[in-house]
Structure formats: structure tokens, C-alpha cells
Amino acid sequence: MKYIIAFLMLLAVAACSQQTGNTAQLQAQIDSLQNKLDRTYKPGFGEFMSSIQVHHNKLWFAGTNGNWKLADFEINEIKESLGDIKLFCTDRPEANSIGMIEQPLQNVSNAIQQKSITEFKSNYTILTSTCNSCHQATQHEFNIITIPTAPPYTNQSFKPAL
């Protein structure tokens, strides 16, 4: 009986030290993953904005050419980048001002659904002035967005596909 108890105690001690070993190993894995996460590249606010700038430009030429499928695509790219700012730029208080552009964006989306160039143009103008309202609200008033006069690239057609 004595031997059995001693044996059981030995087993318990062995199991405990095994447990401690596993915990230390897991902690080391968590630390190493955390380390990798900390060094993962994520785009900054300005990089998302530069991407929005391109889609804002293309959106104009898609809409004014009546290429509604492309216009819909471009506006969704803008919405996606704004969503990414909310997700990835939580350290930037400016991200809290994104709400102001949601309705103007939706109004352009509605004009695209209605396939109305007139509605599109007037709502695009409001959208663009809201870009600037946010730049003013976030001390970036020097960054002035305008209705584009030329597409950003020469290797893309904005006419609807045949």
C-alpha cells in the first residue's frame, strides 16, 4: 500500500512538471507570435487615402461614361478602404470622422443604381466636397480634392464594355 501511494505521488509530481513544461512552451509560442504580429506590415491612413484618391478619380470617368458596373465597382473600393481605415487605423482619432462621408457615398451609389448621369454628377460633387470637409475637420485642409479633369492612367477605358 505504502509503495502504491508513493508511486501515485510520484506520478502526480511527474504530471505537474510536465504541465509546467507545456505551459512554458505555449507561453514561448504566444510570445513569438505576438512578436511577429507587432512587426506585421499594415498600411497607414495616408496609404488608404492614396488608394481612395485613385478610385475617386476613376469613379468620375466610369459614371460620366455611363459605365455603371465599373462605377459600382469603384465606389465599393472606396467603401472598402474606408472600412479598412476603421479596422486598421484605430490609433488615429481622425478615423472617428468617417461617418460624415457615409451618406454622400450612399447617394452616389443610389445614382449608380438609377443609372442617372445627372444624379451621379451632382452627388459626386457633394461627395468630393465631403472629402474636403473631413480634411478640414482633421487639420488636413491643405489637402484639397477636386473633380478630376483626366483619368489617372492611360491604359484603362472607361466606356462600357460592348
Question: Are 158 and 55 a contacting pair, CB within 8 Å?
Answer: no
Site string for ligand HEC, 36-75 (x = CB under 6 A): ---------xx--xx-xx--x-------------------
Q: Is residue 101 a contact residue for ligand HEC (CB under 6 A)?
A: yes
Question: Are 74 and 124 a contacting pair, CB within 8 Å?
Answer: no
Nearest CA to 82 among 62, 100, 70, 69?
100
Question: Are 59 and 71 a contacting pair, CB within 8 Å?
Answer: yes
C-alpha cell at 47: 496609404
Among 43, 116, 143, 147, binds ligand HEC (CB under 6 A): 143
Residue 60 beta carbon to ligand HEC: minimum distance, rounded to whole angstroms: 11
Containing 118, the helix (H) or strand (E) segment is: helix 117-137
Whose Cβ is closer to ligand HEC: residue 35's or residue 139's?
139
Among 80, 84, 94, 119, binds ligand HEC (CB under 6 A): 94
First to last CA, the chain: 91
Only segment of 3-11, 13-21, 31-39, 135-143 that touches ligand HEC (CB under 6 A): 135-143
Footprint on this chain of ligand HEC (rule: CB under 6 A): 45-46, 49-50, 52-53, 56, 78, 94, 97-98, 101, 131, 134-135, 138, 140, 143, 145
